[in-house]
Amino acid sequence: MMMCIEELRQLIAIRLDARVLRWFKSLAAKRRVPYQSHMNELLAGENEKSGVGGVGIHHVRPAL
């Protein structure tokens, strides 16, 4: 059974420092992608680099 990418994502609530959120939004704006998608992409990349817990991690790079 094939799952679409939206089924793999989970809605969460997270508290971030205002400056950290501004930084993520700024980075995402430069790439013209939603900041949540950019945040997910960065975290997934770090997960892959660490070599820990990569099972089940799937991310799609947004078209630019």
Residue among 59, 17, 63 at smallest CA distance from 42: 59
Q: Looking at residue 62, what is its pLDDT?
A: 55
Distance CA 10, CA 17 (A): 21
Handedness of CA 2, 28, 45, 64 (dihedral sign): positive
Whole-structure pTM value:
0.63
pLDDT tens for 4-51 read: 555 678 889 999 999 999 999 999 999 999 999 999 999 989 988 888
